[in-house]
Amino acid sequence: MRAAPRVVVLAGGVGGGRFVLGMREALRRRDAAVNTEQLTVVVNTGDDLWLSGVRLQPDVDSVMYALAGVNDVNRGWGRQGESERVASELREWGATWPWFTLGDLDLGAHLARTGWLRDGLTVTEVVARLASRWALGASLLPMTDAEVDTVVEVDTGTGRREMHFQEWWTRYRATLRPLAFRNPGMESAGLPSGVAEAIAAADVVVVAPSNPVVSIGPILAVPGMREAIASSHAAVVGVSPIIGGKVVRGMGDVCLDAIGVATSAAAVAEHYRSRRHGGVLDCWILAEEDAHLASAVESAGIAAVVHPLWMTDVTATAAIAEVALRSAGR
Amino acid sequence: MRAAPRVVVLAGGVGGGRFVLGMREALRRRDAAVNTEQLTVVVNTGDDLWLSGVRLQPDVDSVMYALAGVNDVNRGWGRQGESERVASELREWGATWPWFTLGDLDLGAHLARTGWLRDGLTVTEVVARLASRWALGASLLPMTDAEVDTVVEVDTGTGRREMHFQEWWTRYRATLRPLAFRNPGMESAGLPSGVAEAIAAADVVVVAPSNPVVSIGPILAVPGMREAIASSHAAVVGVSPIIGGKVVRGMGDVCLDAIGVATSAAAVAEHYRSRRHGGVLDCWILAEEDAHLASAVESAGIAAVVHPLWMTDVTATAAIAEVALRSAGR
C-alpha cells in the first residue's frame, strides 16, 4: 500500500460529501494516522443564501455533516434525528420559508454562522469554527470569502425572471426552464486564505462527482482558482457525475442543458477540458456504463479510466477514491 | 353595567401582558361583543434587539402570547410547550446566544418577523401580521416604527461600559450598576400610524404597571407621544407597579435608582407627573399597602385611588382594570 498523498477535493453538497467520505476512507486505509492536513475539501458556496436574515450554506453543511457522521443517510440530506418545530411555527405564521426545509438542528448551525458572520468573521473562519465541532479528518475551506450566490434566469412560460438558485432548486424543483446561471460579484471575488496553498501543496486534486454547472462551476469560476489548479504540480482527476447518460441525483441534466452541454460523461469531461488545453483535467473516471465514451474523452486530451461509480456505501466510494489516487499516479 | 369605553393601554412585557388580559376581561364583562378597536395596546419596543441577524421583540411577544392564551403561565414568560432544540445546538456550537433563552416556538416568531422586516414591512405592519394569527380581542401597536433599542451605561467596577438593555437584563441580571439608559435614535423617531389616532379616539388611557424606566419610559419618550396624550380628551390613569415599596417582579428598583427616583408608588406617580403640570397622569391607582402615600400623590395634582394591585389571576386583574375605568369616569 502506498503512503497517503495530499489531496484536495473540489466538492458540492450531498454527492460531494459522499465522495469525500470515501476519499477519507481511502486515505485512512493507506495510513490510519492520516491527518486533516492531508485532505482538504474546497466546498461550493454558490448555493449559499440569506433567508430572513439568516445565512445558509447548504453545501458546506452537507459535507460537514457527512464527515461528522451526523447526516441523515436514509433521507439523503440534513441531520439525523432532525425535527421541524421552528419550521412548523413559521408555517403557522404564514412566513416565507415554506419552500426551504428548515430543521431545528440545521437552524442551530445557521444561527451560529450568522452570528459569527455579523461579528465580522470571514466565511473561511466561520467554516473552520463550525468544522471544529467534530473531528472531521479533513480541512473544510469555502471556495471564496465573497458572497457570490447563484442567480438563475428562468423562462416562466410568459417571460423571463431571475431568482436565487435555491428558490429555483427547492421551490420549483428546477421545473422552470433555466436560461442562464450567474454569480453576481464573482468577478471581484478571490480565493480565500488556504485554498491556493492547499492546491499548490497537493499531490492530487479531485473534481468530485458533483453538479458540473451549479456546484463545480462556481468553484472553478472564482478568479484565481483555475490558475491555482493550472500551476499546481498535482495531477487533476475528475469523477463523472453522469452514469449511463443520466445524472445520479438532483437535476444536473437541466443545468447542463442550460449551458449547452449534453448529459454525457464525455461531454462533461470536454466541458471541464484538458489541462493541456487550458482546462482543468488530466484524467477522467467514467462509469462502466459509459465505457464506450472513453475514446472520446481520450481524444479531448484527457486520460480516461473506467470504474464502477455507484457510491452505494463507503467501501464502494473508497474504491472510487482509490482509483482516483492511482490514476493520479499516487 | 356601563358600556365598554375605548381604551388605550401603554404596556411593557410580562406585567403589561398580564394587565392587558385583565383589561380585556373587564371590557368583555361590560360588553361580551367588545371588538378589537375598543382596546388598543401600545407596546414598548425599547427592549427589542438584533441577535445573530434575527430581530427580537420581547415585549410585543409577551403581550401577544398573553392575549392569545399561549403564554407559559407557570414559568411566567415565553410560550407553553416550549422546547429548546435550536438553543442546545447553539450551545454545542459555542455560539453567542447563551445569555438569551431562545425557545424553538419563539424562534419561529423571530424568524417570521425578521423576514417581513427584511421584506420592507414596517414594524407596525409586522406586529399586525403576527397578531393576526390569533383572535386577540385587542389591537397591538408598537410605540414606534423606528429602531430605538435601549442602551445601558453601566459601572463595571473598573470603569464604564455600554451594552444593550437585554444583555444587561438577562445576561447580568441587572447586577451591574446602571448609570444611564439611552435610546439612540429616539430624537428622530415618531409615532407609527394608528397610535395618535387611537389615543385621540380613546375614552381612557391607562399606563400599565410596567417598569417605569425601561418599559413605560421609552413609550413616553417617543416624540409626539406626550403631546398625543396631553391633547387627548381621554382620562389618563396609571396603575402603580410598586406595591408596599417594592417592585412586584423584575428589577425595576435598580432602574428607578439609576434615574434618581425612589422605589415608591408616590415617587413613580410624581415621576410621571400630573397632566395639569405637563405630565401624563390624571389619576393613580395605589396598592392598599401604599394607602399612606395617597395624600402625597394628591399633593402632586394627581387623583389617588387605593385598590388591591396583586394581579394573581384574570379576575383580580379585571377588577384592577375596572377600577381604572371607573377612576377615569367611565
Q: How many CB pairs under 8 A join A and B?
A: 119
CB A143 within 8 A of CB A42: yes
> What's the pLDDT score for residue A20?
97
Long-range contacts of A250-255 (CB under 8 A, 24+ apart): A250/A14, A250/A15, A250/A211, A251/A169, A251/A173, A251/A174, A252/A211, A252/A212, A252/A213, A252/A214, A254/A174, A254/A177, A254/A178, A255/A174, A255/A178, A255/A181, A255/A211, A255/A212, A255/A213, A255/A214
Would you call A104 an interface residue with chain B, using a CB distance cutoff of 8 Å?
yes
> What's the pLDDT score for residue A33?
80
Residue of chain A minimizing CA distance to B54: A53
Distance CA B117, CA A51 (A): 12
Strand B235-239 relative to strand B204-207: parallel, antiparallel, unpaired?
parallel
Q: How confident is the model at residue B273 (pLDDT cuts 50, 70, 90)?
A: very high
Summarize pLDDT for B43-85 with one digit per residue, the tens. 999 999 988 788 999 999 999 999 999 999 888 889 999 999 9
Which residue from A27, A1, A14 is spatially nearest to A138, judged by alpha carbons?
A: A27
Contacts of A96 in chain B (CB under 8 A): 112, 115-116, 119
Q: What percent of chain A has pLDDT over 90?
A: 82
The alpha carbon torsion through A25, A29, A32, A35 (nearest 10 deg) reads -50
The answer to whether B90 contacts A108, with C-beta atoms less than 8 Å apart, is yes
Contacts of A129 in chain B (CB under 8 A): 93-94
> What's the pLDDT score for residue A53?
80
Summarize pLDDT for A46-72 with one digit per residue, the tens. 999 988 788 999 999 999 999 999 999
pLDDT at A3 over 80: no
Would you call B53 an interface residue with chain A, using a CB distance cutoff of 8 Å?
yes
Summarize pLDDT for B142-190 with one digit per residue, the tens. 999 999 999 999 998 899 999 999 989 888 888 899 999 999 999 999 9
Q: What is the mean pLDDT of residues A308-328?
A: 97
Our CA-based measurement puts residue A114 at a distance from the nearest CA of chain B, in whole angstroms, of 5
Determine which of B86, B88, B119 to mutate to test the interface with A (most A C-beta atoms within 10 Å): B86
The DSSP H or E segment spanning A8 is strand A7-11
User: What is the model's pTM?
Assistant: 0.84
Would you call A96 an interface residue with chain B, using a CB distance cutoff of 8 Å?
yes
Strand partners, B242: B247
pLDDT top residue among A158 and A306: A306
Distance CA B52, CA B57 (A): 14
Q: What percent of chain B has pLDDT over 90?
A: 82
Name the grid cell of B221. 419618550
Name the grid cell of A266. 464525455
pLDDT at A98 over 70: no
Long-range contacts of A243-248 (CB under 8 A, 24+ apart): A243/A287, A243/A289, A243/A290, A243/A309, A243/A310, A244/A287, A244/A289, A244/A290, A245/A289, A245/A290, A247/A211, A248/A15, A248/A209, A248/A309, A248/A310, A248/A311
> Across the interface, which of B87, B93, B112 has its CB nearest the CB of A133?
B93
Q: Is A323 exposed, middle or buried (0-12, 13-18, 19+ CB in 10 A)?
A: buried
> What's the pLDDT score for residue A97?
64
> What's the pLDDT score for residue B135?
93
Summarize pLDDT for B78-122 with one digit per residue, the tens. 999 999 999 899 889 988 665 677 899 999 999 999 989 988 999
ipTM over 0.90: no
Our CA-based measurement puts residue B52 at a distance from the nearest CA of chain A, in whole angstroms, of 4
Would you call B133 an interface residue with chain A, using a CB distance cutoff of 8 Å?
yes
> What's the pLDDT score for residue A52?
77
> What's the pLDDT score for residue A206?
98
Name the grid cell of B177. 450598576
pLDDT at B34 over 70: yes
> What's the pLDDT score for residue B98?
58
Summarize pLDDT for A138-186 with one digit per residue, the tens. 999 999 999 999 999 999 889 999 999 998 988 888 889 999 999 999 9
Which residue from A143, A172, A140 is spatially nearest to A156, judged by alpha carbons?
A: A172
Q: How confident is the model at residue A1 (pLDDT cuts 50, 70, 90)?
A: low
The answer to whether B53 contacts A53, with C-beta atoms less than 8 Å apart, is yes
Q: How confident is the model at residue A95 (pLDDT cuts 50, 70, 90)?
A: confident
Helix A85-93 vs helix B104-118: angle between axes, to the nearest 10 degrees?
Answer: 50
Domain boundaries in chain A? Answer: 7-47+186-327
Q: What is the mean pLDDT of residues A27-42?
A: 90
Q: What mean pLDDT value characterizes chain B?
A: 94
**Fold category of A7-47+186-327 in CATH:** Rossmann fold (3.40.50)
The answer to whether B118 contacts A86, with C-beta atoms less than 8 Å apart, is no
| Phi, psi values for residue A9, rounded to 5° | -115, 130
Secondary structure (3-state) at A177: strand
Would you call B120 an interface residue with chain A, using a CB distance cutoff of 8 Å?
no
Summarize pLDDT for A242-288 with one digit per residue, the tens. 999 999 887 889 999 999 999 999 999 999 999 999 999 999 999 99
Task: Tell the residue number behind the cell numbers 458556496, with chain if given.
Answer: A45
What number of other Cβ atoms are within 10 A of residue A329's Cβ?
Answer: 13
pLDDT at A295 over 60: yes
Summarize pLDDT for B175-233 with one digit per residue, the tens. 899 999 999 999 999 999 999 999 999 999 999 999 999 999 999 999 999 999 999 99
The answer to whether B116 contacts A133, with C-beta atoms less than 8 Å apart, is no
Strand B49-51 relative to strand B54-56: parallel, antiparallel, unpaired?
antiparallel
